[in-house]
Structures are given as structure tokens and as C-alpha cells.
Amino acid sequence: MMTKKKLTILGATGSIGLNTLDVVARHPDRYEVVALTGHRQIERLYELCLAHRPRYAVVGHAEDAVQLAERLAAAGLATEVKNGPRALEEVASLPEVDAVMAAIVGAAGLAPTLAAVRAGKQVLLANKEALVMAGHLFMAEVRAHGATLLPIDSEHNAVFQSLPAYYAGDAEREGVSKILLTASGGPFRTLPLERLASVTPEEACAHPNWSMGRKISVDSATMMNKGLEVIEARWLFNLAPQQIEVVIHPQSVVHSLVQYVDGSVLAELGNPDMRTPIAHALAWPERIDAGVAPLDLPAIARLDFEAPDLARFPCLGLAYRALAAGGDAAVVLNAANEVAVAAFLDGKLPFLGIAKVIAATLDALPPAPLPHLAAVFAADARARQVAAHHVERFEK
């Protein structure tokens, strides 16, 4: 019998978390769930605990922890329930855990993901915001602690699969000239520009190809998601910003490409289903069934590509601007985006206000160096205040 890989799933109740557990459930001989976390969706976490019987469960708030613990005990489970940010770091670094799925959304994922890195785990990285915020500090911790980073973001997973297996961040030596990150263009790719001013959160969250959490769905509609992914790729693969190109590909079948100096372009293709990159990372370097329908190219018939329109998608330009500025600019970009997207989802900011709030926040905070992680969290807090102020001014 093979020894099972022991897993912690941070953000188990979200879209990536549920897809991860779907793949895990197909391979009970291979994986064992040690810890599951969910912030507020206690009912869903309860169901997941019944199905996967983890040793630990972590929720956001103490009252919810008490209630969940009682219900799990009544159901005959020995799951220990904890709460709060420290508990997330604890379950991300348990000695018995082999791999951690980092699938919390936003800046809240940074500290627990880093805890997994510092414990030298295999880290399945969905939480792109961690790399956007902490970039080189995060990668330095990966090297210092011998952690293994496996990208879950479909584009980065595709690039990872299209690079040489031994790629260690030296693009020149491997003959890599650039990478192309594909983007669907989201739900508003062809919407008349004058309609953008009045689009609703529901319209923004109705992604044509992917079913995802609400924050990343809005990020896809503004294309800030692609901007964050450019920054994520810069750190994951140690590329210069000008080596990272974005191309719109509405079918989401080509998940990204690597171009080599000899003119070869390698890509990973598949149906748009996150269980593919999740299964790839869970089993790496082996392959397992992900439950994904095989690709039917004749049925898809055509694959289209076009350059992104920065007038329609100003957030993409803002991300390149933050990357070029360096220092804490990407932290400011990410924090302002989180504040603006939350305000949009709350009906407090129009869709076009998202880019404006981010630009105003970047203008107000000139880039400062990021010597250590404390500076990352300080810059994040400062930028949230400034962005919240700009959201309020927008309301009047």
C-alpha cells in the first residue's frame, strides 16, 4: 500500500477548495485530509468535515468554532475545531502534513501560506495575492526553507507544465524568450463601452468560461486578475516584466504558452476546469484522473486570439505600472483593488470606479522599499485606508 499524502486545505469552502476536495475524493487511496479551513460558511464546512473527517477544522470566529465543535462531536467526529489567523498558520505547518493547498482569497491568505512555506511544505498555490504582495520576500522564504511551490492558477500551471521540468528561474539559460498569459477577457470583453458604467455585481460575476469566487470573478471582469497574474508570474518564474505578455483568448482552452528563442511555442490546453491544474499539482510529478471531460477540438472548432484593449481594461495597465514601480507598489495595488472590489460588490462603487480608486491610491502613495514582511503588512494597511477614503469620496 502506498503511503497517503496528508493535506491541509486552506479555504476549503471556496471554489478552489471544493474543486480540490472533488479531486481528493476520487483518490481515497492517495490522499488524506488532515485539516480544513473556512471563514464563515460553517454549514458547508460541517458537511465537508462529515465527508472528509479531518483531524482539525479552522473557522474565522470563536462563536462559530464552539457551534461547529458541538455539531461535529454530536455526529461522532473527533475533529478539533480552532479559530482565527494563528490557527490557520498552525494547521498550515503541522509536522504530519505533506502538502498545503493555499486557497484563501486575498491578503488574508499571505500569512498562512507563508507558514506552510516556512515549514518546508509542498505548497499548492492558488492564493496569487500572496505573491503579488510579498514577491521576492516570499520566494526567498521558499528557497530558505526548501519548500516546493506548485502553481494552481491555470495560466501559471500551464507555464509550469510548458517549461523544462528542471526550470529553476534562469530563463536565458533555458532559452525562454517570453511567456504569454491567456485571458478570456471576462464577461465585458465585447460590451459597448458606454454600458460599463452601469454593470451590476451579478453581471460582473457571470464569467463566460469559469465558475469562481466573487472577488476573482470581478477581477476577471476588470482584467485586474490578469494584472495580478502578470506580477505572480514575474516572481514564480523570475522573468522581467517585458517577458510577460497578455493575450486575449475567449475560449479559455489554451491556458498559457512559453516561447523559446528557437521559435518554438509550447502550451498546455484543456477544458476550462480548475480540477486539471489541481490534480496536476496534487499528483506531481505523477498524473491522476481529475474527473475532467476530455478536450474535443472539433467541437470547439476554433481558437481566437487578440491583443488586450487597455482603454477597456485600465486595471491591466495599472498592474504593469505597479510592477515597473517596484517596492511596495504591488501591495498598494492589491490592497486598493480588494477595497474597491468589496465596495463594488456592496453596491457602494460603480464598476468604472474600481480602476479610478486604485489609480488614486497608487498616486497618493509613492513606492517605498519592502525590506521585510512587516513592511508588507504596514503598506497593505496604509493602502486600505487611502483606498477606503477614495471610495467614500466617490460616493458623494
Cβ proximity to ligand NAD, 269 vs 364, nearer residue:
269
Q: Which residue from 316, 325, 321, 385 is spatially nearest to 354, judged by alpha carbons?
A: 316
Select the binding partner of residue 39 from Mg ion, ligand NAD, none (C-beta < 5 to 8 A, by kind): ligand NAD
- Where do the H-state alpha helices sit in 237-345? 275-283, 297-300, 314-325, 329-345
Cβ proximity to ligand NAD, 139 vs 364, nearer residue:
139
Q: What is the C-alpha separation between 140 and 271, in angstroms, rounded? A: 34
Residue facing ligand NAD at closest CB distance: 14
Which residue in the set 100, 104, 205, 339 belongs to the binding site for ligand NAD (CB under 6 A)? Answer: 104
| 47 dihedral zone (left: phi>0; alpha: psi -120 to 50; beta) | alpha
Cβ proximity to ligand NAD, 13 vs 162, nearer residue:
13
Cβ proximity to Mg ion, 16 vs 107, nearer residue:
16
Confirm or reject binding of residue 14 to ligand NAD (CB under 6 A): yes
Confirm or reject binding of residue 16 to ligand NAD (CB under 6 A): yes
Which residue in the set 91, 103, 383, 387 belongs to the binding site for ligand NAD (CB under 6 A)? Answer: 103
Instruction: Check residue 177 and report its DSSP letter.
Output: E
Residue facing Mg ion at closest CB distance: 153
Select the binding partner of residue 108 from ligand NAD, Mg ion, none (C-beta < 5 to 8 A, by kind): ligand NAD
Residue 17 Cα distances to 3, 190, 350, angstroms: 23, 31, 30
Residue 131 Cα distances to 1, 165, 234, 243, angstroms: 37, 21, 9, 18
Helix/strand/coil percentages in the chain, nearest 5: 50, 15, 35
Confirm or reject binding of residue 270 to ligand NAD (CB under 6 A): no
Instruction: Check residue 286 and report its DSSP letter.
Output: S
Cβ proximity to Mg ion, 152 vs 360, nearer residue:
152
Confirm or reject binding of residue 274 to ligand NAD (CB under 6 A): yes
**Smallest distance, ligand NAD to C-beta of residue 362, A:** 20
Binding footprint of ligand NAD, residue count (CB under 6 A): 26
| Binding positions for Mg ion, rule: CB under 5 A | 153-155
Q: Do the strands 254-260 and 176-183 form a parallel or antiparallel pair, or are they unpaired? A: antiparallel
SS3 28: coil
Confirm or reject binding of residue 83 to ligand NAD (CB under 6 A): no
Inter-residue contact 213 to 105 (CB < 8 Å): yes
Binding segment (CB under 6 A) for ligand NAD, from list 37-45, 321-329, 337-345, 358-366: 37-45
Q: What is the C-alpha separation between 169 and 172, in angstroms, rounded? A: 9
Select the binding partner of residue 256 from Mg ion, ligand NAD, none (C-beta < 5 to 8 A, by kind): none
**Smallest distance, ligand NAD to C-beta of residue 312, A:** 21
Binding segment (CB under 6 A) for ligand NAD, from list 35-43, 133-141, 322-330, 336-344: 35-43
Binding segment (CB under 6 A) for ligand NAD, from list 15-23, 168-176, 234-242, 281-289: 15-23
| Sign of the dihedral defined by the CA atoms of residues 131, 134, 138, 139, in that order | positive
Binding segment (CB under 6 A) for ligand NAD, from list 196-204, 213-221, 284-292, 323-331: 213-221
Dig out the grid coordinates for 151 from the structure.
502553481
Cβ proximity to Mg ion, 153 vs 273, nearer residue:
153
Query: Cβ–Cβ contacts within 10 Å for residue 40, how many?
Result: 12
Q: What is the C-alpha separation between 336 and 92, in angstroms, rounded? A: 27
| Sign of the dihedral defined by the CA atoms of residues 325, 328, 330, 334, in that order | negative
SS3 365: coil
Which residue in the set 54, 60, 187, 314 belongs to the binding site for ligand NAD (CB under 6 A)? Answer: 60
Report the interface residues with ligand NAD, using CB under 6 A.
Answer: 11-17, 38-39, 41, 60, 103-105, 108, 126-129, 153, 210, 212-213, 215-216, 274
